[in-house]
A and B are shown apart, each in its own frame.
Chain A
């Protein structure tokens, strides 16, 4: 395969990864890294470098659409970005310290968790049980357009959410993914925010989080232009198309099918890492 053919194949694969990522709500990163490493035998450091830049593109490219819906909360996002960016730097440091096998295994586990999370029933804990002083003082609250007028919400369990966000950032920096699943977990489950607010605010945060480790990746030489170019353009095109399709598609069935694909990729990543082929 020459360079042009290889770039073409990677581009098409990235479009598919972007589509899959948008339709499952998991993001392109969790699909493209296994694809590059398992199928094309790309070293995982080049793979996560290319993936991370595509994560920034998808998150920022979709932001305008999300904002129009009026659910994202800019204050909650900004406050939690302190945790995710610190985590991202920590994760990027870890990438250079731990073996590629370990990265592969963690990646596989995150894939399995993400698949499970994408299938789980979407619900928000109701009842404002422990609205702390902290949430009030930090104004971690807002309202969103509900059925009958604006509905109010206030964040709960702020320290737990902040801690989970640090973890989300670490995974993002270690694996070159957006780790949207963990961010949503932190806001939806730990902080008791409405699901829609959690997902849109999470998308908003992903780009800033990824930017924190992208600089470190670049200076370490993880971002290889010949590979990152087709990946970034492909994932961006795929995810924007996926977001448009999402309006018409039967999401439940799609999610089921794709979750199985993600599970298969996760198991493959873990097995390959353990047997030393990654």
Chain B
């Protein structure tokens, strides 16, 4: 059992790294687009909170922006990928436990996944 565990953990570690690098690459592309199109005036003011634009707060709005080549949407899309990475890792671990026939930990994984889904529900 220990051996399978080890292999499972290594697979998960690699997967997390790939997810992060992918997300960082998308954020970087969005960042370059953002800076190329940045207005010449003074920098945006972050000292007063007024929440970001509605379209940058939902996956649908973000995807819509990406399709229209919007730089800020591209950055948000990269960040969405980033947020999805650990969520995906819970799924992979759950599948790994199922392969090991560890029913208890399949349910533990399902519980964590359910909590994550509940929080992601807010984005929708």
Chain A residues in the interface with B (C-beta under 8 A): 1-7, 40-43, 45-46, 53, 56-57, 59-61, 63-68, 70, 72, 74-75, 78-79, 81-82, 85-86, 88-89, 92, 138-139, 143, 207-208, 210-216, 218-230, 232-233, 236
Whether B67 is near chain A, meaning CB under 8 Å from some CB there, is no
B39-A228 in contact (CB<8A): no
A219-B57 in contact (CB<8A): yes
How far apart are the CA atoms of A5 and B35 in the complex, in Å? 10
Judged by DSSP, the binding face of B is: helix
How far apart are the CA atoms of A148 and B43 in the complex, in Å? 59
Q: How far is the CB of A211 from chain B (nearest CB, A)?
A: 4
Which are the 7 A-B pairs with shortest beta-carbon distances? A221-B51, A67-B13, A6-B43, A64-B13, A207-B86, A225-B75, A3-B38
Q: With A53-B82, A63-B16, A75-B105 known to touch, is A86 a contact of B93 (CB < 8 Å)?
A: no
Q: How many A-B residue pairs have CB under 8 A?
A: 200
11 A–B contacts from the bound complex (CB under 8 Å) = A1-B43, A60-B82, A64-B14, A74-B5, A78-B112, A211-B87, A212-B115, A223-B79, A225-B73, A225-B79, A226-B72
A64-B58 in contact (CB<8A): no
How far apart are the CA atoms of A256 and B41 in the complex, in Å? 42
* Chain B residue contacts of A232, Cβ below 8 A: 24, 27, 79, 82
B86-A56 in contact (CB<8A): yes
A212-B119 in contact (CB<8A): yes
> CB-CB contacts of B56-99 with A at 8 A, as 1s and 0s?
11100000000000011101100110111111011001000000
* Chain A residue contacts of B105, Cβ below 8 A: 75, 78-79, 139
Judged by DSSP, the binding face of A is: helix
For window 5-55 of chain B, which residues contact chain A by CB distance below 8 Å?
A: 5-6, 8-10, 12-14, 16-17, 19-21, 23-24, 27-28, 30-31, 34-35, 38-44, 46-49, 51-53
How far apart are the CA atoms of A232 and B28 in the complex, in Å? 10
Q: With A74-B5, A78-B112 known to touch, is A215 a contact of B56 (CB < 8 Å)?
A: no
Q: With A219-B123, A225-B76 known to touch, is A60 a contact of B104 (CB < 8 Å)?
A: no
* Chain A residue contacts of B112, Cβ below 8 A: 78, 81-82, 85, 208
A139-B104 in contact (CB<8A): yes
B10-A68 in contact (CB<8A): yes
A228-B47 in contact (CB<8A): no
B104-A74 in contact (CB<8A): no
A63-B12 in contact (CB<8A): yes
Q: With A3-B38, A60-B17, A208-B90 known to touch, is A219 a contact of B48 (CB < 8 Å)?
A: no
A218-B83 in contact (CB<8A): yes
B79-A228 in contact (CB<8A): yes
How far apart are the CA atoms of A227 and B93 in the complex, in Å? 33
Which residue of the partner chain A has the closest CB to B6? Answer: A70
How far apart are the CA atoms of A82 and B105 in the complex, in Å? 12
B123-A233 in contact (CB<8A): no
A2-B116 in contact (CB<8A): no
B116-A85 in contact (CB<8A): yes
Which residue of the partner chain B has the closest CB to A150? Answer: B2
B43-A3 in contact (CB<8A): yes
